[in-house]
Amino acid sequence: MAARRGDPGLMRHARQAWRALLAFRLPVIRPLAAALWGIAGVWGRLWPLFLKILYREPMLRYRCARVGVRLQLEGAVPQIIGDGTIEIGDDVLIGSQNTWIVGFKVSTAPRLLIGNRVDINYDTTISVADYVSIGDDTLIAMSVQIYDNPSHPLSPVRRLRRESFAIDEARPVMIGRNVWIGASAIILRGVTIGDNAIVAAGSVVTKSVPSNTVVAGNPAKIIKTLED
Ligand SMILES: CC(C)(COP(=O)(O)OP(=O)(O)OC[C@H]1O[C@@H](n2cnc3c(N)ncnc32)[C@H](O)[C@@H]1OP(=O)(O)O)[C@@H](O)C(=O)NCCC(=O)NCCS
């Protein structure tokens, strides 16, 4: 009864016990800590390797029409939405937390083509209603977004009705060879990026980019031409 009414003596003991618990530390037994540290390090490398070999890579190979040799999958299988065709070349690196939407209700034959030796960093979004291609040796930094479609109808009435955009509103995105797309850049529908071009970090690319140029800003404009 006393405890239920909040006996001040009991509460004081409880507070002291709680503070003692918060202040409690185990002594560091160095050989034991070293062994645990080593085990954690080995486990931290082995477990992702097991996941990759036994589950992640087979799942991706099952889902894609083609995955070339020596795939490097840095994290989980990309979240793939839609049933469109995906082809991945040789020596491709795919970072973690990728989202690829390949196919919408209105799509007829959506295709995502990723060339050889392409790096796609983490947190990249690729949205394909019709066609997106990424040329050989292209580097895509983290948090890049690529859309070949408007995502939603421009018409307010159709959006209110939660209707899809029409397939003729999708326009292919074609990214050339040896392109470097900087972090958080956004590539919008209908854009072609020429070989060797660079898209600066944070750019919003609304118009096609000539080969051997550097574009930056929102909307992205040419800031440099590359000599070699
Ligand atoms: C594209 C990039 C390499 C350009 O570098 P650079 O050629 O040295 O460019 P400069 O610093 O000479 O800048 C040239 C002009 O472009 C502007 N500029 C450069 N990068 C810009 C950007 N991301 N957005 C807007 N403007 C930019 C500069 O302000 C400068 O403008 P000014 O002439 O009016 O002063 C660099 O800006 C970039 O975006 N790197 C990508 C980094 C990245 O994403 N890393 C992730 C890991 S891969």
Question: Which has the closest alpha carbon to 79: 135, 126, 148?
Answer: 126
What tokens appear for 47 in the block? 């477990």
Question: Which has the closest alpha carbon to 136: 82, 68, 186?
Answer: 68
By alpha-carbon position, which residue is closest to atom 35 of ligand 1?
223
Provide the domain limits for residue 123: 64-225
Asked if the structure places residue 146 within a domain, the reply is yes
Asked if the structure places residue 176 within a domain, the reply is yes
Asked if the structure places residue 10 within a domain, the reply is no
Residues 10-30 pLDDT 10s = 999 999 999 999 999 999 999
Which residue in the list 152, 159, 207, 224 is annotated as catalytic?
152
What tokens appear for 180 in the block? 């470097």
Beta bridge partners of 222: 215
Residues 57-105 pLDDT 10s = 999 999 999 999 999 999 999 999 999 999 999 999 999 999 999 999 9
Asked if the structure places residue 11 within a domain, the reply is no
Measure the N-to-C terminal CA separation of the chain; round to a whole number of Å.
86
**CA 134 to ligand 1 centroid distance, Å:** 22
Asked if the structure places residue 186 within a domain, the reply is yes
> What is the count of structural domains for the chain?
1
Asked if the structure places residue 218 within a domain, the reply is yes
Q: Is 224 in the pocket of ligand 1 (CB under 6 A)?
A: yes
Asked if the structure places residue 117 within a domain, the reply is yes
Q: Is 220 left (phi over 0), alpha (psi -120 to 50) or beta?
A: beta
Residues 43-62 pLDDT 10s = 999 998 999 999 999 999 99
Q: At residue 2, does pLDDT exceed 60?
A: no
Asked if the structure places residue 138 within a domain, the reply is yes
Instruction: Give the domain CATH number at 189.
Output: 2.160.10.10
At 5, the pLDDT band (50, 70, 90 cuts) reads: low
Q: At residue 4, does pLDDT exceed 60?
A: no
